[in-house]
Amino acid sequence: MNHPSGSKHSGWKGGVAEEKREGYDREKYNTWRQGIFISSKLKCFLTGLSLPNELQAHHLDSWFTASEKRYEISNGVLLLKEIHVQFHSEYGYHTTRESFEQFCLEKFNKKEFPWVTDKQAMKQLDGILLKRKEKGKEELSKMISERNSILKEGNYENRKSKLFLYCPKHDATHHTTVFHFKR
């Protein structure tokens, strides 16, 4: 049985998936998302409710309309999933900060928008990245030790960092990345 796909599928959103993958960096996205959760103090921007499992990070200027702002913490807020879905079902996925403000005013009578400043956002982002890097270095060091390997060259920057390792047991050296070494 052939199932409809692409533009013939009932869930088609105009090629959003392909467009979203362009320029996607998982590590940057996860850092951005974590930054939004921290800067929002785990509260929905519109309701003030703190339901961590029901919260989603929302781009004020969308992924599609402002690619240069994709990973800026100042370009995001936390919303309850239900509200996030409602917003995108009414305004689509090519949205702006102004369309979000209009939604807030019309649906929640919210008139004040104290967006995080870029300076605050960069300070938060730097802190998150530093913690993530420190944790990654510790995990890598522990794993190298547990596997009785010796790091000859390389350093942890992110999961794509290149490593040159020596294994005394097999008297062999090999090149790998942090991601592949962790597997």
Note whether 59 and 147 are same-domain residues. no
Query: Looking at the structure, do residues 143 and 101 belong to the same domain, yes or no?
Result: no
Total domains present in the chain:
2
Structural domain span for residue 167: 135-182
Residues of the chain with pLDDT > 90, as a percent, come to 33
Q: What is the pLDDT of residues 84-143, one digit of tens each?
A: 999 999 999 899 988 999 999 889 988 888 764 556 656 666 676 777 778 888 988 898
pLDDT at position 125: 63
Same domain, 68 and 102: yes
Residue the block writes with tokens 């420190």? 134
What mean pLDDT, rounded, does the chain reach? 83
Same domain, 106 and 40: yes
72 and 155 together in one domain: no
Spatial CA neighbour of 77 closest among 109, 107, 121? 121
Tens-digit pLDDT profile for residues 31-50: 899 889 988 889 999 999 99
Whether residue 126 is contained in a domain is answered as: no
Is 0.75 surpassed by the pTM of this model? no
